[in-house]
Structure 1
Amino acid sequence: MQQVKRFSLMLISMVFVAFSASLTIKAAIGLAAWDAIAQSLSHLSAIQVGTIGMVLNISCVVGQMILLKRTFPPRQLLQIPISVLLGVLINYFYYTFFASLTLDNYAVTLVIFLIGTVLASFAVSMVMVLNIITFPLEGFCMALAKKTKYHFAFIRQMVDILAIFFTLVLTFSLDVPMTAREGTVIGMLIFAPLMGFFIKRLQPIINLKTEKAV
């Protein structure tokens, strides 16, 4: 029963991840590096951004399976339906729920972006504390770290740098709208500290509930 509650809480958190991601996309003042690639490819291909994100995330799961082979944890296959869920929800929130939302004032846009970033950090922190599955990109970076001499943090940072570089190449070579802007920098500065703040407070609550259930 406790596992059902934890899984349900994870699904609710994923809804908030999609909701907050859609808010930051709608703000259009820059996205996190990985999201910026998805948005740039969406502009380029006319495929919905959630669908692009879904494909990228599932590709990361496949990458984990190739790298880890028999040591790939079967439970992490849940990353695939979760990737699909996130993609579908982002498409719904961005293209339907927020379809009529117009942001003409920069100050309001910035506030919306910050709200989305705070919500995202909270939701991602909750998923990490629940520790049922990892996010596909992080899972791929961890798998790569196991197979190389590099640490996870270094690989994850390099992925962000490469993602921003690829986004800029698309922007300047193919006239794709800029998706790496001031919001990208703001996110890089505040997202990790916010996660540290939320994880520190969520961990005791989740652990206490688990102990009571036992």
Structure 2
Amino acid sequence: MEKLKRYAVFLIGLFINSLGVSLITKADLGTSPISSIPYVLSLNFPLTLGQFTIAFSLLLILIQLAILRRNFKAEHLLQIPISILFGYFIDLTMELLFFIHPQTYMASVIYLLIGCVILGFGVYTEVLANVAMLPGESFVRAVSSTWKTEFGSTKVAFDVSLAVIAGILSLLFARRLDGIREGTIIAALLVGFIARLFGRKLACQMLFLKFRNS
């Protein structure tokens, strides 16, 4: 029963995560680093952001298999249905946010910041559930555990690499930098901080309630 509750929390977090990604994308200032390559591809080929997200996630799982080899466990395969669901959630939330078309730069910034808060809360919720990881985070964990690097530094290097590759793909396919903008950098800097902030604030509130009721 406890495991079932954790998976329910994870699914809620996954949907919140997709909503944050979609709102950041709708802000039209770029997208989150993990979605940058799928987003650039979706701007240049007739597949949706969600569909390219699924394909990219499956690629990350295959690379994890190559990195981990014997350490690749059956539980890692849980990333496959999670990736498919996450991709469908992204397409669903992109449709739900059809009305968002910021007309000014300030409106774009506001949508971007709201999206970062939502995505940060989604990341916190997934971590709180503690049952599975999205392929992006699982890939970073595979690299850091195999080559004994610090997870946080590896995550930053991974995000930067994704943004750079997305930029190169954009220049290659569109002959201009399309889909990678300042919003990508802002999201990379803010989302992790916001997730940790939610963790600290909610943990403090839970301790306070526990103390008050004791």
Tell me the TM-score normalised to structure 1 length: 0.86
Letter in 2 for 1:148: W
For residue 112 of structure 2, what is the aligned residue in structure 1? 113
The Cα of 1:152 is off from its aligned counterpart by 2.6
In 2, distance between residues paired with 1:173 and 1:76?
A: 33
* 1:125 corresponds to 2:124: yes
Partner residue, 1:142: 141
- Please state how far the C-alpha of 1:155 moved relative to its aligned partner: 2.6
User: What SS does the corresponding residue of 1:46 show, helix, strand or coil?
Assistant: coil
Aligned length: 207
Aligned to 1:26: 26
- Counterpart Cα distance in 2 of 1:152 and 1:13: 21
Query: Percent identity between the aligned chains?
Result: 25
Confirm or deny: 8 A CA contact 1:129 1:202 kept in the other structure.
Answer: no
Counterpart for residue 211 of structure 1? none
Q: Corresponding residue for 1:67? A: 67
Match of 1:182 in 2: 182
Structure 2: any 5+ residue segments left out of the alignment? 208-214
Aligned equivalent of 1:167: 166
**Alpha-carbon offset, residue 7 of structure 1:** 0.9
CA contact (8 A) 2:29 2:182 kept: yes
Q: 1:173 to 1:72 in 2, by over 3 A?
A: closer
- Give, in whole Å, the separation in 2 of the partners of 1:205 and 1:10: 21
d(CA) in 2 for partners of 1:79 and 1:204?
Answer: 31
**Segments ≥4 residues shifted beyond 3 Å:** 201-207
Structure 1, unpaired ranges of 5+:
208-214
CA shift digits 1:78-125 (9 cap, x unpaired): 21111101101111221x222243221322222111111101001111
Query: Cα RMSD (Å) of the superposition?
Result: 2.3
Q: Aligned partners of 2:26, 2:146: CA distance in 1, in Å? A: 38
* Greater displacement, 17-26 / 73-82: 73-82
1:87-98 to structure 2, matched below 5 A, reads 87-94=87-94, 96-98=95-97
**Structure 2 counterpart SS, 1:29:** coil
